[in-house]
Chain A
């Protein structure tokens, strides 16, 4: 069938600069460039271009530019080019539209409507370069009260706690969705920087067991690669109920991505689809969740915090309360803009609520019920910089998860082609020729650098506020003010309008 879809990008090649070295041909995994030997020239198949800019970055003579196709449909607020092209693609395939990365619609980003405070005159700001600053965070259940004996020793038996040096962890990305070299980069960076990385639901490669102290092992509805050794290898066990990019939806890792190594780690035969059911079939209620939480606690002999991750949905606050009562030591909320390796577009773009609102609602609810201390709150879904981190902490989070930011640090240009398995940056693919593009040593350095920058910036932010410990900012919404928000939005966020 002839496609009516126009190419989305235009490849511009400066003939004077092009030396026909074919770097672009070799770098493009979507076959958008080819060498025409008859004319000794490089040409483009623009239909194939996804706008990942791999060729632009690697062209040694800066001969290339890739721009959005300026093709303009007759202007129409309802029938946007996206709406027209989605229908066209469905008419030509009859399939569910798949996509990668997080929601790209212009839902309000609340971080950009919140501003932070600073000390002026009435209390001094602190210079973090010369004064001690504390970013360390302990994740896990905290007791209602502590008892100390006459020698000053702690009598209360504490639940397992995990110390992280920066309140930013790498979010779940499974081996199979991303490559082993990405996992290695994440694991090494987490170890260097004293934070955690997360296996996602795809098992843990044998080479990575050595990073266990900085690993969160995840189990989801497919239970892929989950066995006693895996559960005890990590420092935290995370039960994934939902994901911000696809609340209520399972996962289908296509057989093409289940290579020999992926098969070994997921413990399924090579080349078979890895289908994660939409629900956990042993969890149909809060009581059932309690059962799996305690199955995990039994399986790890109460030595590790058990984390439970949900997508932020309408009743997140009530659900989170149930999760804490079910024994979750860490509650993870993944918001509307949370990312994915593959999800139906209609789900990604339309289901869930912004993480800022979910976080504020959950923190408020757990405080009201007097159980906020019983679990740490970790939020995920579109955290872009240390400013977002600081605002999340002030809204009540103990720590944040980043995944897209981490992938961008590794080279991702957010072209949203993760679901094709052809990632030219070598990230979201299991094609061995492409995965080699990530060198774990360099990858770990780039990720560590990112965390180091954010850590300096967080200290600057804290210092400016006159705080010397992140703990003093946690849930301290008086350090936030809202801009351009309605009374109801301010009420849910629990912050005052700027100027008041």
Chain B
């Protein structure tokens, strides 16, 4: 462990178990660390899980599943790929992934932001919700697999498709299936058959462009690209057609 400045700490995670690593993180955060750099991270799960202060955690390597689950405040930056379940049931904070992220990224998140530079796996943003001033956002620079935005109950999901080649489309099916809240913005188009049956398609309003512009601006800041160029393309908006999709399913 290298202590570079009083509040900035570097930890070599090589060969350290997730339990020991998280114990160390907890200790350091309790002692007032403001920035922690984790080197040689290789598959350790649950990093940042129970932290609730605005500490910055920079991860070099590949963190394991459930990165920042239940997290309430920290800002995690991953220089590498993240695995499954990043931001699971997150309450607040930020996860920035300079690479890909796996399945169920942002599962049931209630607040905070997740930025993924490249692609995400299956069921990203599933069952994200919003509540009072809490509104989670998942911004995906690349593309997503099937069931993206499934069961969404709130928040904003943005799919930019920046790594798609000319003429290439998003391939996800069942987009937003079961969606009953929140908004999905997609750069480019998707075919009707790719959408869940609870999803409607609309053009963006001025308000939409303002919201989208802010998140794209943040994305461009994080990953050093041109926000204007991204915004200078066509977007569609997906919205839930019913707030109570299963209201008529039952006989009382």
Chain A residues near B131: list those with CB within 8 A: 263, 267-269
Across the A-B interface, how many residue pairs have beta carbons closer than 8 Å? 124
The yes or no answer to A294 lying at the interface (CB within 8 A) is yes
The yes or no answer to B126 lying at the interface (CB within 8 A) is yes
Closest chain-B Cβ to A83's Cβ sits at a distance in Å of 15
Query: CA A254 – CA B248 in complex, angstroms?
Result: 11
The yes or no answer to B99 lying at the interface (CB within 8 A) is no
The yes or no answer to A93 lying at the interface (CB within 8 A) is yes
The yes or no answer to B113 lying at the interface (CB within 8 A) is no
Query: CA A344 – CA B52 in complex, angstroms?
Result: 40
Identity of the chain B residue whose Cβ is nearest the Cβ of A90 in the assembled complex:
B251
Chain A residues near B123: list those with CB within 8 A: 281
Number of interface residues of B (CB under 8 A): 47
Q: Which stretch (B35-43, B85-93, B168-176, B230-238) binds chain A? A: B85-93
Also in contact, A226 and B89, with CB within 8 A (given A95-B250, A298-B46): yes
Q: Is the interface of A mostly helix, strand, loop or mixed?
A: mixed
Number of interface residues of A (CB under 8 A): 38
Chain B residues near A228: list those with CB within 8 A: 50, 52, 70, 72, 91
Query: CA A275 – CA B126 in complex, angstroms?
Result: 12
Also in contact, A97 and B251, with CB within 8 A (given A227-B91, A282-B107): yes
One of B50, B84, B154, B251 near A269 (C-beta < 8 A): B154
Contact A275 B178 (CB under 8 A): yes
Query: CA A471 – CA B222 in complex, angstroms?
Result: 59
One of A90, A94, A267, A299 near B49 (C-beta < 8 A): A299
One of B45, B50, B252 near A98 (C-beta < 8 A): B252
Also in contact, A272 and B243, with CB within 8 A (given A95-B251, A98-B252, A281-B126): yes
Contact A275 B107 (CB under 8 A): no
The yes or no answer to B127 lying at the interface (CB within 8 A) is yes
Chain B residues near A92: list those with CB within 8 A: 251
Q: List 25 A-B contacts (CB under 8 A).
A: A97-B251, A223-B110, A226-B70, A226-B89, A227-B110, A228-B72, A228-B91, A252-B249, A254-B244, A267-B134, A269-B154, A272-B181, A272-B243, A273-B247, A275-B151, A277-B178, A281-B104, A281-B126, A295-B70, A298-B19, A299-B50, A301-B26, A301-B50, A419-B250, A420-B252
Query: What is B's interface to A at a CB cutoff of 8 Å?
Result: 18-19, 22, 26, 45-46, 49-50, 52, 65-66, 69-70, 72, 84-85, 88-89, 91, 104, 107-108, 110, 123, 126-127, 129-131, 134, 150-151, 153-154, 178, 180-181, 243-252
Query: What is A's interface to B at a CB cutoff of 8 Å?
Result: 89-90, 92-98, 222-223, 226-228, 231, 252, 254-255, 263, 267-269, 272-273, 275, 277, 281-282, 291, 294-295, 298-301, 344, 419-420
Q: Given A94-B251, A226-B89, A273-B244, list of 12 further CB < 8 A pairs?
A: A90-B251, A95-B249, A95-B250, A255-B243, A272-B243, A273-B180, A277-B151, A281-B127, A282-B66, A291-B66, A295-B45, A295-B49
